């Protein structure tokens, strides 16, 4: 997974987030005080989000996401 990829939730949820755009990799989850998971986290800009950070993106773990379309290499 990399910045610019289009993603969707890996598992069917009761809420439809739509398609998301991976904006950046996160070094920590801004919503948790004690957070040291080994799984990478990404800031995703969803077409239909529920919870967002100030910049409009949502925190997602890599294991929760499925890449729909990869960005091309430059």
At 55-72, the pLDDT tens digits run: 889 988 899 999 999 998
* In contact, 42 and 24? CB cutoff 8 Å: yes
- Number of helical H runs and strand E runs in the chain: 0, 5
Is the per-residue pLDDT at 8 higher than 80? yes
Q: What CA–CA distance (Å, rounded) separates 39 from 56?
A: 22
Domain ranges of the chain: 6-69
pTM for the model stands at 0.81
């Amino acid at each position: 997974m990399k910045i610019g990829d289009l993603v969707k939730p890996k598992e069917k949820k009761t809420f439809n987030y739509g398609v998301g755009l991976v904006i950046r990799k996160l070094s920590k989850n801004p919503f948790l005080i004690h957070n040291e998971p080994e799984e990478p986290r990404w800031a995703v800009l969803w077409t239909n989000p529920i919870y967002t950070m100030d910049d409009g993106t949502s925190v997602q773990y890599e294991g929760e996401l499925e890449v729909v379309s990869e960005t091309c290499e430059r």
